[in-house]
Amino acid sequence: MKGHTHLLIGGAVGIPLAVIIPASAIPSSLPAFAISCALSGVAALLPDIDHERSTISTFLRRNLGGSKHSRGRHRGGTHSFFGTAIAGLLAGLAFHQLDPPLALPAAVIVALGYLSHLVADVISPYPMRWLWPFRRHPIRPRWIPAIPHSGFEGQLVELATIGVVLAIFVLAGAHWFA
């Protein structure tokens, strides 16, 4: 899937997770679901940081500088349960320094946003190293149809996914602001 689709799916994952953010930890002018959606949406981009043309790599390179060369194989350790745990742990540690009551909610939101990327990539024909570093061999479930993202079917799935996710945002927004 493309970066914008991962961002939207990750953001949608953040909607129900907003309930775990302590109300006392955020300004009342900023809705908890906005923080949760933004955090999980950005976290959903992180697994592709190992791909030089990904949305997150391009953003970081343009804004922070750096080389265009990837530092590992795509769908390696960043596409694993271990990578998910590390992302959640780092988010928890960072938020603990900023605002301790947000540490655990941030860790959970980032980990689940990150995991949404892995789940969305399951339909890709390319295997992932789900169990890295414990098992380096890539795994692709055979019972899930492989849909290349560049073909017609992939574009159709991506369009349908975007439609469903946008509907979720509209419904959540209507509920949250009612």
DSSP SS3 for 128:
strand
- Sign of the Cα torsion 116, 79, 150, 56 reads positive
Percent of the chain with pLDDT over 90: 24
Q: For residue 74, what is the DSSP state? A: T
Q: Read off the pTM.
A: 0.82
Stronger pLDDT, 44 or 165, i.e. the higher one: 44
Beta strands in the chain (DSSP E): none
CA nearest to 109, candidates 99, 95, 123, 120:
95
Reported as half-sphere exposure (CB side, CA atoms, 13 A), residue 104 has a value of 5
CB contact at 8 A, 111 and 85: yes
SS3 67: coil
Question: How does residue 59 score in pLDDT terms, banded at 50, 70 and 90?
Answer: confident
pLDDT of residue 117 exceeding 80, the answer is yes
Question: Which one is predicted more confidently, 160 or 174?
Answer: 160
For 76-104, give one letter per residue: b (16+ CB within 10 A) or e. bbbbbbbbbebbbeebbeebeeeeeebbb
Average pLDDT value for residue range 41-56: 89
Q: For 89, phi and psi rounded to 5 degrees?
A: -65, -45
Q: Name the band, by pLDDT with cuts 50, 70 and 90, for residue 139.
A: confident
**Domain regions of the chain by residue span:** 3-65+72-176
pLDDT grade for 42, boundaries at 50, 70 and 90: very high
Average pLDDT over residues 74-80: 81
The whole-angstrom separation of Cα 161 and Cα 168 is: 11
Q: Name the residue with higher pLDDT: 37 or 177.
A: 37
